[in-house]
């Protein structure tokens, strides 16, 4: 079979092992069980995001220089080893160090995987399928969580919360089998290495200088920050409304199946202005519903899954239309830089609000900040006719 076709297949299969499916529901309870406050939990994630932020462009350039497939293999190896050790951590400073290595590993994968997918589709003359195929890859990651939940419940019941993290590290290392089968899709280069490096950075600066691209990056960051920040508040939210710890996994499994269905079924890029306004409005509504801490409104969290599953890929596809093939990994890393910058700023602030004023106030602050900025960005993009 054609190597480009195999790349697409192996990226989908790798996603099944790389989604942290066993620990996803229990990582926040794990931190809380080690005595971390909500602000400290967000601070560990800010450290991750800061390292990822500083590492994103160099890692993207490394992928463009030595090859996306090689970079993915290295990144998966580092991620798996780090996560395997994570379950044995017991102190705040240990988690900070482990987050640094986790950011390095994931930074090598994220950006390179999208770039390799695009290069493979271009080689097959199927570039227009990027949204569809990337959604299929996301679906594979979501469905793996449903399969991982029974294992997670057994580990929590019989061993410990930390065992779920170690199990995910082992699972990631098993995914190396598919990472090692990825092959580079070669792009012909007509310039020297030195010229190539200079052009990559110039291309990045030129891309960010485009007003429509800047607003797309802001919109991506806000729609991504909402579900991301809510993830770290899911455990205290469920506890406040009276849901048992052992039910966290089954709830996540149901939500993951829902996200897999959305990712697999919907991959349209039409009517983007209306859709982005809808996502931003939905984000505000979900957080307000969660802030009531009413168990009968627990279903509103499904709105976050809609946003997480459907909002990013159409925007990423729009951005990639303006990117030269040889710089795709570098440019896709720019998307993650903006996302992580939003997490760095909003995370500790949200954590402090939750610790000082309570969960309800924290949910309102997050929903209002992310939703209103998303509405502003969408309005600006509509004015620029960029969607």
Give the confidence band of 327 by pLDDT, cuts at 50, 70, 90.
low
Are the C-beta atoms of 353 and 365 separated by less than 8 Å?
yes
pLDDT given at position 113: 85
For 82, how many CA atoms within 13 A lie in the half-sphere containing its CB? 22
> For 212-239, how does the pLDDT look when each residue is reduced to its tens digit (9 = 90+)?
888 888 899 899 889 988 988 888 899 8
Q: Judge whether 140 and 96 are in contact, CB under 8 Å.
A: no
Name the burial class of residue 187, with classes exposed (0-12), middle (13-18) and buried (19+) by CB atoms within 10 angstroms of its CB.
middle
Indicate the pLDDT class of residue 198, thresholds 50, 70 and 90: very low
**What is the percent of the chain where pLDDT is above 70?**
88
Q: Examine the pLDDT at 304 and tell me if it is beyond 50.
A: yes
Per-residue pLDDT, 223: 92
Band of the pLDDT at 1, cuts 50, 70, 90? low
Maximum Cα–Cα distance for the chain, whole Å?
Answer: 62
Q: Are 336 and 52 in contact (CB under 8 A)?
A: yes
Token pair of 166 as six digits: 């170690």
Kindly tell me if the per-residue pLDDT of 273 is higher than 90.
Answer: no
**Distance in angstroms (rounded) separating the CA atoms of residues 320 and 317:** 5
329-364 pLDDT, tens digit each: 556 656 666 777 778 888 888 888 888 888 888 899
Closest CA to 38 of 265, 354, 272: 354
Where residue 358 falls (left for φ over 0; alpha for ψ -120 to 50; beta otherwise) is left
- Crossing angle of the two packed helices 312-320 and 302-310, in degrees rounded to 10: 20
Listed ranges 172-181, 191-200, 265-274, 328-337; the one with the highest mean pLDDT: 172-181
Residue 199 confidence class, pLDDT cut points 50, 70, 90: low
Euclidean distance between CA atoms 219 and 233, whole angstroms = 22
Helix axes 193-209, 38-66, angle to 10 degrees: 130
Residue 21 pLDDT > 80, yes or no? Answer: yes
Whole-number pLDDT of residue 387? 73
Choose the weakest-confidence range: 240-249, 270-279, 342-351, 366-375: 342-351
Asked if 182 and 76 touch (Cβ cutoff 8 Å), the reply is no
Q: What is the mean pLDDT of the chain?
A: 83
pLDDT digits (tens, 9 = 90+) for 31-48: 999 999 888 998 998 898
* pLDDT above 60: residue 54: yes
- Identify which has the larger pLDDT, 192 or 184: 184
Helix H or strand E encompassing 123: helix 112-123
Residue 94, pLDDT > 90, answer yes
CATH 3.10.129.10 fits 3-182+192-383, yes or no: no
Confidence of residue 197 (pLDDT cuts 50, 70, 90): very low
Stretch 155-172: mean pLDDT:
93
Question: Residue 251 is encoded by which pair of tokens?
Answer: 């709830």
Query: Of 63 and 379, which is predicted with more confidence?
Result: 379
| CA distances to 96, 230, 249, 260 from 24, in Å | 18, 13, 8, 15
Predicted confidence at residue 192, as pLDDT, reads 40
Give the percent of the chain with pLDDT over 90: 30
Chain length of the chain: 387
Q: Which residues are CB-neighbours of 264 under 8 A, at least 6 positions away?
A: 135, 136, 139
What is the SS3 assignment for 361?
helix
**Where are the chain's structural domains?**
3-182+192-383
3-state secondary structure at position 219: helix
Give Cβ neighbours of residue 200 (< 8 Å, ≥ 6 apart).
61, 64, 326, 327, 330
Query: CB pairs under 8 A, 24+ apart, for 255-259?
Result: 255/301, 255/302, 255/305, 256/21, 256/24, 256/142, 256/143, 256/144, 256/145, 256/146, 256/149, 257/142, 257/143, 257/146, 258/302, 258/305, 259/138, 259/139, 259/142, 259/305, 259/308, 259/309
């Amino acid at each position: 079979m054609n190597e480009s076709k195999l790349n697409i297949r192996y990226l989908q299969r790798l996603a099944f092992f790389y989604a942290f499916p066993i620990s996803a529901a229990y990582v926040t309870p794990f931190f809380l069980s080690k005595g971390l406050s909500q602000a400290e939990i967000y601070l560990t994630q800010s450290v991750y995001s800061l390292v990822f932020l500083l590492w994103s462009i160099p890692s993207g350039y490394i992928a463009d220089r030595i090859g996306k497939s090689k970079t993915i293999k290295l990144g998966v190896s580092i991620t798996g080893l780090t996560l395997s050790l994570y379950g044995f951590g017991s102190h705040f400073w240990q988690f900070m160090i482990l987050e640094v290595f986790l950011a390095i590993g994931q930074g090598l994968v994220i950006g390179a995987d999208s770039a390799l997918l695009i290069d493979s589709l271009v080689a097959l003359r199927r570039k227009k399928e990027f949204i569809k195929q990337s959604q299929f890859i996301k679906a594979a990651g979501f469905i793996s969580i449903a399969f991982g939940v029974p294992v997670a419940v057994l580990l929590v019941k019989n061993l410990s919360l930390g065992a779920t993290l170690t199990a995910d590290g082992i699972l990631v290392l098993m995914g190396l089998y598919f990472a090692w089968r990825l092959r580079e899709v070669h792009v012909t280069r007509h310039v020297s290495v030195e010229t190539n490096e200079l052009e990559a950075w110039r291309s990045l600066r030129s891309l960010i200088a485009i007003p429509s691209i800047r607003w797309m990056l802001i919109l991506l960051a806000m729609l991504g920050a909402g579900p991301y920040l809510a993830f770290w508040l899911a455990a205290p939210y469920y506890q406040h409304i009276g849901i048992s710890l052992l039910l966290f996994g089954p709830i996540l499994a149901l939500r993951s199946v829902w996200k897999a269905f959305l990712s697999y079924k919907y991959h349209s890029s039409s009517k983007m202005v209306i859709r982005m306004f809808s996502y931003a409005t939905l984000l505000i509504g979900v957080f307000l519903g969660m802030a009531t801490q009413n168990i009968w409104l627990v279903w509103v969290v499904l709105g976050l899954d809609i946003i997480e599953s459907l909002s990013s890929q159409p925007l990423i596809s729009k951005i990639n239309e303006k990117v030269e093939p040889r710089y795709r990994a570098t440019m896709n890393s720019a998307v993650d830089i903006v996302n992580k910058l939003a997490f760095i700023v909003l995370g500790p602030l949200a954590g402090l609000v939750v610790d000082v004023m309570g969960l309800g106030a924290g949910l309102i602050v997050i929903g209002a900040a992310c939703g209103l900025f998303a509405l502003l960005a969408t309005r600006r993009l509509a004015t620029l006719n960029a969607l």
